[in-house]
C-alpha cells in the first residue's frame, strides 16, 4: 500500500465514520516503533506504522486510523482530544475505534528492576534506571549505595 492509497482510506473513513472531511496528510512513518499511529498537533497530519498493516492486517489499520481521527477531529473542534478526556473516550466508542492497538511481535515487553542497598544502614532501593553510585548516596543516612542485582521480568510478572 502506498501513501496515496493510505490518504484515500483515511479520507474515506473520516467521511463514513465522522461525517467530516480529513483535510490534511496521512502517511506511513517508518520511524514509528512502539505505536500504531500518531496525530501531530502542530501540522494536523497523521503518521501510521506500516508494520501494523503487515503484521495484523487491514482491520487493525482501520482501527488505528479511527483512533487517530478521533484525536484529529476533537482537536480541530476545540474539545478534549487527549486519551483521558471524556470527549475522546465517548467519540472513540461511538465510531468503534480501539483504545489501544495490538502488540507487535518482537517488541520488547520486559521490565528491568535494579536493586541497590545502602552499605551503612541497609536500606533497599528499587530503581528502573541505573544510579551513579559515586554521585548519589542514601537518602536516609548518606551512606554509600551498592548495586546488588539486576532483575529482568516479562511484563505481567511482579
List 113's β-bridge partners, or say none: 151
Give the residue from 71, 65, 83 showing the smallest Cα distance to 44: 71
Annotated catalytic residue, options 55, 68, 94, 126: 68
Cell of 65: 486510523
List 46's β-bridge partners, or say none: 26, 39
Asked about 126 being catalytic, the answer comes back as: no
Give the residue from 11, 84, 68 showing the smallest Cα distance to 76: 68
Count of CA atoms in the C-beta half-sphere (13 A) of 124: 6
Secondary structure letter of residue 144 according to DSSP: B
Catalytic residues: 68
Amino acid at each position: 500500500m502506498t501513501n496515496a492509497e493510505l490518504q484515500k482510506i483515511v479520507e474515506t473513513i473520516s467521511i463514513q465514520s465522522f461525517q467530516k472531511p480529513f483535510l490534511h496528510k496521512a502517511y506511513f512513518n517508518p520511524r514509528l516503533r512502539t505505536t500504531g499511529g500518531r496525530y501531530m498537533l502542530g501540522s494536523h497530519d497523521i503518521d501510521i506504522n506500516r508494520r501494523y498493516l503487515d503484521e495484523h492486517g487491514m482491520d487493525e489499520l482501520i482501527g488505528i486510523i479511527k483512533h487517530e481521527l478521533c484525536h484529529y477531529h476533537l482537536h480541530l473542534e476545540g474539545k478534549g482530544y487527549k486519551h483521558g478526556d471524556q470527549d475522546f473516550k465517548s467519540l472513540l466508542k461511538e465510531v468503534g475505534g480501539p483504545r489501544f492497538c495490538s502488540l507487535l511481535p518482537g517488541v520488547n515487553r520486559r521490565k528491568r528492576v535494579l536493586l541497590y542497598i545502602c552499605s551503612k544502614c541497609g536500606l533497599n532501593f528499587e530503581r528502573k534506571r541505573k544510579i551513579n553510585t559515586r554521585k548519589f548516596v542514601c537518602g536516609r543516612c548518606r551512606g554509600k549505595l551498592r548495586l546488588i542485582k539486576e532483575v529482568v521480568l516479562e511484563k505481567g510478572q511482579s
